[in-house]
Structure 1
Amino acid sequence: MIIRTFFKYCILSAAGLLLYGATGNAQTLSLSLHDAVSLAIRHNRALKAAGIDVRIAQEQRKVARSLSLPSAGIGAQYAHYFDLPVFFGLGETDDKNKVPYSRFGGRDQFTAALSASYPVYNPAARPSQREAQLQEKASRSSYAAKEINISAAVKRTYLGILVLNERLKLQYESLQRNNKALQDARSLLAQGRALRVDTLRAYTTVKNLEPDMLRLNKAIEVGKLQLTTLIGIDTVQDVILTDSLLHPDAITIPGEAAVYETAKANRPDLQQLNLNRQIRGQGIALAKARRLPVVSLVGQYQLQTQAHRFDFFNASWPAASFAGAQVTVPLFSGSSNLAKIRQARLSYEQSGIQLTDAYEQLKTEVRQVVANLQETFERMQTQEQVKTTAAESYTIVQYRYQKGVTSRLELTDAELALTTAQLNYLEAVYDYLSARIELDRTTGKQ
């Protein structure tokens, strides 16, 4: 009996501390819903990774731009000959069938050259630049889509914690009412004015509520952990939610056609699919460009010398330079260029199928979102009326029980109906607000 009393006291104390916002952790963070979304946009790890993708795409644009810009390089070469260099055509030989040769020059040779090239005509430059530009836009669209999804996840998680807090509060109030009922039943049983079965029923109800409160407390802890993970802050830090769950205002439920057109125009993921299709189109142009010639202007300035025993300071440094044009014509590459063109066309066709499929799925998604919004709003209105009726019924039955007109069983049923109606109303509010969040996510609204 002492253990059970201590167990009950621990549960009531934990619930009371939670209701009044007390916490044993010194590191706390007060969060409103707006603050939670703002922190998630700044610190969420998935968003940070998506932001790096945007920066990578920006650097890729610079790489593509370099195909149209001149390039220059400096090269140097040193060689040591163990025997003097050979020059054929000079010297004498006894055998007329052999080409004469001589050895002269320095054993140490050094050459330095400055080379420059400017692509006058590179057919791959423009499609590469266009592809990189589209890829950057696609990366930004991907980032915006992740931002919308994470914002919606933060809102749902925040809302879920608020609902759990309200459920815990209702369970605590129900536990108090049932504890009072248990005390009355025990008192009446001791006076011989009640049956033992009434006391057992009240005791069973109290004990059934205690595990629910523990489960709700654990669910709140897990919900806060999920919220801090989404926000991107230290999971050791405890959070206090400053917003409260209020009866939501009614909104005008839009039609399916308006929602579909808004989503089609604003959804970043759909924009990304459209950009991917354009990228595949540039891939075809780029594959075709590999079969065309490349024309470049080239030039070089070269210094070279030969010396003995590394005495380059006293050696001669004659210079040579040239400028000209270079044409590179791809003739045959093992049919790889033709295969790449076909591959690019298939990718373009595939992206078109994916875009069409996404639009068709959007129609189904829009219909589901609008239907959920209508259903949850009507259910919330109904559950609000049921909750009010159940509260009035409990008040009447409680008064009748105090006057000895009705039985304990009827009061217990009325209390259970009140708790059930309150919980159902909370569930309806959560479903309705979740449907509104899903509507904003579907239409591309953050």
Structure 2
Amino acid sequence: MRHTSIISLLALSSVLSACTLAPKYIQPAPPVATEWPVAAAASDAPLKWRDLFTDARLQATINLALEQNRDLRVAALNVERAQAQYRIARSDLLPGIDASLSNPRNQSSRSYSASLGLSAYEVDLFGRVRSLKNAAVESFFAERENRNAVQISLIAAVATQWLTLASDQDQLRLAQQTLAARRDALTIAQGQANIGVLSDLDLAQIEVLAETARADVARLQTVIDQDKSTLTLLTGAPLTADLLPEGLQTGQVAGALPVGLPSDVLLDRPDVLAAEHDLKSANANIGAARAAFFPRISLTGSTGSASPDLDGVFKSGTGAWSFVPAISVPIFSGGANIAGLKSAEASRDIAVAQYEKAIQSAFAEVSDALAVRARIDERLSAQTAATGAAQRTLTLSQARYDKGVDSYLTLLDAQRTLYSSQQTLISLQALRATNLVALYKALGDDGSLQ
């Protein structure tokens, strides 16, 4: 009968502890505009990085990073740790039951005892333990979203570095071609100078151009080595030649990336979701702080048997039991409970501000990427036309110089202009590709994470 009463009391306490004193959570309104400052094609479909980065080598490099990158591994372990902490907090909702078997001895007697005990189980009438459990589960969700954010950032970083390497390879190829042409020109110029056809000033200017190109080749070779080193660090494993690019090419990334409305896009970013889970966790902690003002009820009990003989411990008629409820009423704590509540409320207000700042930062990142995307094709078109014009200018300048119409200085200016224009064109082509990566990262909604 007494056992039945204890079980009934535990069941009743579980029902009574189903509520908490935490304030009702209300999602803050996004503190940003309802439209992007730059028009963008709308889409409700989730992004998938494999649909955006279509080059087989780039995909293989990203897959390697997802398997080997240490930052992503740490983020995944943080999720496991948060999950374990949540399970610890959840276990406090259930009574802890211990079993023991003892054999104390002294000079006069010897006895055996076996017991099953309930140790200081808190009856969570005011939801303190449940609020702490809710805070822990929200922290777990936040860590999971942080892990997703790390993965998206890693994918974007690998793609950006891979495309940067491809662009630098194109820049090096251009510099090497330019160096070869200028060395040929220098060889011819030296012969002309030897017979007095070319002045020493013109010869010196041709030599300057050749040495400038040689310096560019050495600089770009260093940059490419650094690109490979950074890419190796991101992937977390050595890179084989079959993973490296061979310059920028069409089809390595998608041509466009549709974007939904701010209210649909921003609230699905992992960092924004993590900030909201942190806010919910802080909100739940207010419930625990409020519950500290109310009494705590704990239950301690045991049931078992004792006998001078080991085989008698498990026979009927040797039973013993105890049940010790306890109540703790806060009377005076020096203001600790009030301070704890104020601290919890301040933490909640901080979490609100951080959540709103995360949304604003996300809005700015998407807007910046869209601003580049809106005009990059026009810039590329203009630069392509400018490069073509520079090539025609060089052809005409060469012809006029050969006929003695223009000085060699005019021809040198045409050569410098073409080289600079070609370099700018390669940079813009890289910007177009990496801008899609930046937009992917800014949107932060990768359907492959689901």
User: TM-score range, shorter-chain basis?
Assistant: 0.7 to 0.9
Deviation at 1:419, TM superposition (A): 0.6
- Contact 1:61/1:132 (<8 A) preserved: yes
* Alpha-carbon distance between aligned partners in 1 of 2:121 and 2:177, rounded to the nearest angstrom: 80
1:18 paired residue number: none
Deviation at 1:367, TM superposition (A): 3.3
Residue-pair matches, total: 384
1:242 paired residue number: 245
- Structure 1, residues 10-35: CA drift from partner, whole Å, max 9, x if none? xxxxxxxxxxxxxxxxxxxx982111
1:138 paired residue number: 142
Does 2:345 correspond to 1:345?
yes
Query: For 1:328-343, what aligned pairs fall within 5 Å after superposition?
Result: 328-332=327-331, 334=333, 335-343=335-343
* Alpha-carbon distance between aligned partners in 1 of 2:313 and 2:233, rounded to the nearest angstrom: 71
2:285 maps to a residue whose letter is G
1:233 is paired with a residue whose SS is coil
- State the Cα RMSD in Å: 3.2
1:300 paired residue number: 303
1:266 paired residue number: 268
1:300 maps to a residue whose letter is T
2:422 paired residue number: 422
Runs of 5+ in structure 1 lacking a partner?
1-29, 85-104, 306-311
2:92 is paired with a residue whose SS is helix
The percent identity for this pair of structures is: 22
2:61 paired residue number: 36
* Alpha-carbon distance between aligned partners in 2 of 1:42 and 1:329, rounded to the nearest angstrom: 52
Deviation at 1:198, TM superposition (A): 1.5
- Structure 1, residues 20-53: CA drift from partner, whole Å, max 9, x if none? xxxxxxxxxx982111222222221111001001
* Alpha-carbon distance between aligned partners in 1 of 2:311 and 2:305, rounded to the nearest angstrom: 18
Deviation at 1:358, TM superposition (A): 2.8
* Alpha-carbon distance between aligned partners in 1 of 2:210 and 2:313, rounded to the nearest angstrom: 105
* Alpha-carbon distance between aligned partners in 2 of 1:381 and 1:214, rounded to the nearest angstrom: 30
- Contact 1:111/1:304 (<8 A) preserved: yes
Deviation at 1:433, TM superposition (A): 2.5
TM-score (norm 2): 0.75
* Alpha-carbon distance between aligned partners in 2 of 1:417 and 1:389, rounded to the nearest angstrom: 10
2:116 is paired with a residue whose SS is strand
2:370 paired residue number: 370
Deviation at 1:386, TM superposition (A): 0.9
- Contact 1:293/1:329 (<8 A) preserved: yes
Query: For 1:13-412, what aligned pairs fall within 5 Å after superposition?
Result: 32-75=57-100, 105-106=108-109, 113-116=115-118, 119=121, 121-122=123-124, 123-234=127-238, 241-242=244-245, 244-246=247-249, 251=256, 258=260, 260-290=262-292, 291-296=294-299, 298-303=301-306, 319-324=318-323, 326-332=325-331, 334=333, 335-402=335-402, 406-412=406-412
* Alpha-carbon distance between aligned partners in 2 of 1:78 and 1:149, rounded to the nearest angstrom: 61
- Contact 1:260/1:366 (<8 A) preserved: no
* Alpha-carbon distance between aligned partners in 2 of 1:61 and 1:164, rounded to the nearest angstrom: 48
- Contact 1:262/1:443 (<8 A) preserved: no
* Alpha-carbon distance between aligned partners in 2 of 1:402 and 1:143, rounded to the nearest angstrom: 65
Relative contact order higher in (CA < 8 Å, ≥ 6 apart): 2
Deviation at 1:180, TM superposition (A): 1.4
- Contact 2:131/2:287 (<8 A) preserved: yes
2:296 maps to a residue whose letter is P
- Contact 1:152/1:437 (<8 A) preserved: yes
Deviation at 1:325, TM superposition (A): 5.8
- Contact 1:32/1:243 (<8 A) preserved: no
* Alpha-carbon distance between aligned partners in 2 of 1:275 and 1:315, rounded to the nearest angstrom: 56
CA 1:385/1:246 → structure 2, altered by over 3 Å: closer, same or farther? farther
* Alpha-carbon distance between aligned partners in 2 of 1:264 and 1:178, rounded to the nearest angstrom: 52
1:326 is paired with a residue whose SS is strand
1:203 maps to a residue whose letter is E
- Contact 1:33/1:158 (<8 A) preserved: yes
* Alpha-carbon distance between aligned partners in 2 of 1:325 and 1:249, rounded to the nearest angstrom: 70
- Contact 2:113/2:313 (<8 A) preserved: no
More strand by share: 1
* Alpha-carbon distance between aligned partners in 1 of 2:423 and 2:311, rounded to the nearest angstrom: 98
2:248 is paired with a residue whose SS is coil
1:303 is paired with a residue whose SS is strand
Deviation at 1:77, TM superposition (A): 6.5
TM-score (norm 1): 0.76
Instruction: Tell which structure's C-alpha radius of gyration is larger.
Output: 1
CA 1:394/1:314 → structure 2, altered by over 3 Å: closer, same or farther? closer
CA 1:249/1:45 → structure 2, altered by over 3 Å: closer, same or farther? closer
1:246 maps to a residue whose letter is Q
Runs of 5+ in structure 2 lacking a partner?
1-54
1:437 paired residue number: 437
* Alpha-carbon distance between aligned partners in 2 of 1:355 and 1:313, rounded to the nearest angstrom: 63
- Contact 1:298/1:325 (<8 A) preserved: yes
* Alpha-carbon distance between aligned partners in 2 of 1:228 and 1:324, rounded to the nearest angstrom: 64
- Structure 1, residues 307-361: CA drift from partner, whole Å, max 9, x if none? xxxxx88999994421536243343472433332222111111111222233333
